[in-house]
């Protein structure tokens, strides 16, 4: 990120907080995925928590807050603003960069680039092309009263994932991420939904902190 952009984020947020951060579709894969999870019964539920009040690290555990650590993320003031690791590993498999001057979130997952486009400066809806599902995915806030909740749907309207923020956004408890469909229970689709979902939710939180 340019130094000018860094200055914008550092000005907007307190020093002890991290910065804010016509398509073609593969009918066979997208359609089969849709049929699997139309019942809206989550196949995986993850709990997302900050490790301290400084909001520098995120832990993602399976099933409950005491469950196995599946993902973790480092949150920094410089690009990349989010760095994701698998479990207890120290090697990053995904990075996230927030663009201050453009309505973009730039994501790289295992060498694959994803550009998530925001329709407005404040993120209420983010759209990107899924490299693993071959369709357009949208992370959208379904309820303006709950600013940090987001649903991920495919181009045909099928629900893939849902992030539900903790009601109080306590200094450690961030929220819950539900994944729908057996195909997303593990592997690269799961990685994609976790990284994009947490990037959108974290950006929304940081925007809220910056303007309040």
* Pairing assessment for the beta strands 104-109 and 112-118 based on DSSP bridges: antiparallel
- What pLDDT sits at residue 11? 33
Burial 167-206 (b: 16+ CB within 10 A, else e): eebeeebbbbbbbbbebbeeeebbbbbbbbbbbbbbbbbb
Spelled out in words, what is the top-level CATH class assigned to the domain 42-211?
A: alpha beta
Q: Report pLDDT for 49.
A: 95
Residue 77 has what pLDDT? Answer: 86
Tens digit of pLDDT for each residue in 109-125? 999 999 999 876 666 78
pLDDT value of residue 114? 98
pTM exceeds cut of 0.85: no
Tokens read off for 30: 């997208």
All structural domains of the chain with their residue ranges:
42-211
One pLDDT digit (tens) per residue for the chain, 212 residues: 444 444 333 334 334 444 444 323 333 344 444 444 444 677 899 999 999 888 899 999 999 999 999 999 999 989 999 999 999 999 999 999 998 778 899 999 999 999 999 876 666 789 999 999 999 999 999 876 787 899 999 999 999 999 999 876 566 889 999 999 877 777 999 999 999 999 999 988 888 777 76
Q: How many CA atoms lie within 13 A of 127 on its CB side?
A: 9
Those residues whose C-beta lies under 8 Å from the C-beta of residue 63, and which sit 6 or more positions away, are 45, 47
């Amino acid at each position: 990120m340019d130094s000018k952009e860094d200055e914008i984020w550092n000005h907007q947020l307190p020093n002890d907080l991290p910065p804010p951060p016509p398509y073609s579709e593969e009918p066979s894969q997208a359609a089969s995925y849709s049929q699997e999870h139309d019942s809206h019964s989550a196949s995986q539920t993850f709990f997302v928590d900050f490790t301290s009040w400084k909001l520098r690290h995120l832990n993602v555990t399976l099933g409950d807050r005491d469950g196995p650590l599946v993902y973790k993320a480092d949150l920094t003031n410089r690009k990349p603003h989010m760095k994701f690791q698998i479990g207890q590993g120290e090697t990053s498999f995904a990075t996230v960069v927030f663009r201050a001057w453009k309505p973009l979130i730039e994501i790289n997952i295992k060498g694959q680039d994803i550009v998530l486009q925001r329709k407005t400066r404040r993120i209420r809806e983010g759209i990107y092309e899924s490299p693993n599902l071959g369709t357009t995915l949208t992370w959208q806030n379904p309820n303006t009263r709950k600013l940090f909740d987001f649903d991920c749907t495919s181009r045909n309207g099928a629900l893939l994932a849902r992030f539900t923020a903790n009601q109080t956004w306590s200094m450690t408890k961030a929220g819950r991420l539900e994944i729908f469909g057996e195909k997303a229970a593990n592997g690269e689709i799961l990685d994609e939904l976790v990284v994009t979902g947490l990037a959108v939710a974290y950006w929304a939180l940081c925007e809220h902190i910056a303007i309040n």
